Structure 1
Amino acid sequence: MAISANTVAEWQTELAGKGPQSIVKFALSQCPNLCLSFSGAEDVVLIDMAVKSKLPFRVFTLDTGRLHADTYRFLDTVRRHYGITLEVCYPDALTVRELVTAKGFFSFYDDDHKECCGIRKVEPLRRQLATTTAWMTGQRKDQSPGTRNDVPVVQYDTSFDGLDGPLAKFNPLANWSSSEVWDYIRALDVPYNPLHEKGFVSIGCEPCTRAVLPGQHEREGRWWWEEATKKECGLHLSNLTPPA
């Protein structure tokens, strides 16, 4: 059944002031076919909360073909730890081949990351979201001063076509800080990517991610050659083009 903008507005009111665990349980109770996006530390916190809810949910990850070796091992660790089925989404091989043939392996250093991310991340995400009516992410408001300041705990996502039209997008950790995420991880022994122990905070593809220095913002390790307000790959288009 299609989810309307009015329904999402009602959910926003109902979830105001609620904590992440309550938001996760609410989302899964309202949207049984919800897909949880998994790549980083925040997402594993959500998986942990979803497992504790005892409600059904789906988990997917985007394999761009350019991830760190540690990230691939981390994905498998989480799959085994929680006994979940991990839906892995891949880019179209022919389109990747055409890009690499025309521009080489590192064209994004010259003409920004949007084309590569569009092929390796956005299109696979588009195909995945076409199978559901709602999705869940680990976005936090403090992750990116240029693009995520206004991320709500639930929003009406018209950026992608879901199973029946626009999607409900839940961001249960929107109001949490990085410290709160890591407090949860340490307290409950939640698995995390070993790259975090090497200075990596926000982790994406290997060529576009680097460790940050003490005091640097976490997103400074992503697409460091680009201006701060452009540090989105296209997965969260609503951050760049908020509704009128």
Structure 2
Amino acid sequence: MSHATMNSTPTSQNGMTLEPTPELLEELAEASARLETATPEEIIAWGAERFGSGLTMATAFGPEGCLILSILSRVAPETYVFNLDTGYQFQATLDLRDRIAEKYGLEVEMLRPELSVPEYEAAHDGPLYVSNPNQCCFDRKIKVLHRGLAGRTAWMSGIRRDQSADRAQAAIVGWDKKFNLVKISPLANSTKQEVWGRIVKEEVPYNPMHDQGYPSIGCWPCTRAVIDGETDERAGRWSGTGKTECGLHSIDQQEGSGI
């Protein structure tokens, strides 16, 4: 997969900078309503046609992301895709990147924070995920995401509305106030069963930890397997802290909030 050169100013397919004008917001609302009953393939194809090289995707290699990558390989293989490599990812997640590349020919770029894990922990007198997980997410995910989105006008996510209260409000297409570009969620109206049905049927590579009680997988210090009786598939993330989101998809738009 070829990666388009990233510019400092977000531009649309025709080189125009995108701003959340009333006209653009109306266009996005109309597109979102029209695509509400579309297939993920149709939504992704629309995004690739509308935004061209301005379209990108950040993936954590969750089941939804893997399904989208399998579709991208057929519909828009030139799309720039990246992973927020915090330095705390499970080895199984890193290995999955290689399996995806081998099957689909998609090279997912690993974007890393400026400081390595040892440097970061030394600067904060120990692991910050213990004392301040919000700040850890902000430094090692949100800041890196801003870098990955530089020069882009639209990004795709693998969120589903049935995953959490924050995500229940997700539009198929909308303006992302936090990152100042268009956000496209091809699987927003898909269910967990529908996603996994396609993964099994189409033999999409996925993280084997999902078969070991980990429905949602993030960084290893802040992820555990769910236990019997837990119905929230994100119950194993930041367990016991009251934290449910890293900040990439939270609805609170204040800088750094909700992470």
The answer, yes or no, to whether TM exceeds 0.5 is yes
Task: After TM superposition, give the deviation of residue 131 of structure 1 in Å.
Answer: 2.3
Unmatched tracts of structure 2, length 5 or more: 1-15, 19-23, 255-259
**Aligned residue in 2 for 1:79:** 101
* Amino acid of the structure 1 residue aligned with 2:72: A
- 2:4 maps to none
User: What is the rounded CA distance, in whole Å, between the counterparts of 1:68 and 1:224 in structure 2?
Assistant: 17
The corresponding residue for 1:21 is 41
Q: Number of matched residues?
A: 231
Q: Alignment partner for residue 148 of structure 1, among 167, 172, 189? A: 167
- The answer as to 2:227 corresponding to 1:213 is yes
Distance in 2 (alpha carbons) for counterparts of 1:120 and 1:241:
18
What is the alpha-carbon root mean square deviation over aligned residues? 1.9
1: distance between equivalents of 2:123 and 2:213? 33
Match of 1:178 among 192, 197, 200: 192
**Aligned counterpart for 1:136 among listed residues 142, 156, 175:** 156
Q: Distance in 1 between matches of 2:195 and 2:148?
A: 26
Of the candidates 202, 222, 225, which is equivalent to residue 237 of structure 2? 222
How big is the shift at 1:191? 0.3
Kept in 1, the 8 Å contact 2:48–2:76? The answer is no
Question: 55, 70, 91: which one pairs with 1:48?
Answer: 70
Q: Which amino acid aligns with 1:104?
A: G
Instruction: Name the CA distance, whole Å, in 2 between partners of 1:20 and 1:150.
Output: 18
Q: 1:159 to 1:54 in 2, by over 3 A?
A: closer
Matched to 1:64, the amino acid is T
Within the candidate set 52, 59, 67, 2:89 is matched to 67
Q: Which residue of 1 aligns with 2:141?
A: 121
Are residues 96 and 32 of structure 1, via their aligned partners in 2, closer, same or farther at CA, if it must alter by over 3 Å? Answer: farther
Match of 2:205 among 191, 197, 202: 191
Is 189-198 or 5-14 further displaced after alignment?
A: 5-14
Contact 1:153 1:174 in 2 (8 A): yes
Say which SS state the counterpart of residue 219 (structure 1) adopts: coil
Q: Which of residues 220, 232, 249 in structure 2 aligns to 1:236?
A: 249
Aligned to 1:163: none
Partner in structure 1 of residue 115 of structure 2: 93
Alignment partners' CA distance in 1, 2:158 and 2:210: 16
Relative to structure 2, which stretch is displaced further, 120-129 or 48-57?
48-57
Mapped partners of 1:65, 1:240: distance in 2? 26
Structure 1 contact 32–56 (Cα < 8 Å) conserved = no
* Alpha-carbon spacing, 1:68–1:9, altered in 2? closer, same or farther (3 Å): same
1:16 to partner: Cα distance? 2.7
Structure 2 residue aligned with 1:38: 59
Structure with the largest fraction of helix = 1
Contact 1:109/1:225 (8 A) holds in 2: no
Query: How far does residue 209 in structure 1 lie from its aligned partner after superposition?
Result: 0.6
Aligned residues of 2:87 and 2:117 also touching (Cα < 8 A): no
Cα distance in 1 for partners of 2:213, 2:197 equals 17
Could you give the per-residue CA deviations for residues 70-108 of structure 1, whole angstroms, max 9, x where no partner exists?
111111111221111222110011797255432302x33
Partner SS state of residue 83, structure 2: strand
Report the residue type matching 2:226 in the other structure: V
Partner secondary structure for residue 233 of structure 1:
coil
Which shows bigger deviation, 4-13 or 180-189?
A: 4-13
Task: Pick closer, same or farther for the CA change 1:194–1:95 going to 2, 3 Å.
Answer: closer
From the superposition, tell whether residues 65 and 55 of structure 1 become closer, same or farther in structure 2 (CA, over 3 Å). Answer: closer
Instruction: Give the share of equivalent positions with the same residue, in percent.
Output: 35
Q: Which runs of 4+ in 1 moved over 6 A?
A: none
Are the aligned partners of 2:84 and 2:144 in contact in 1 as well (CA < 8 Å)? yes
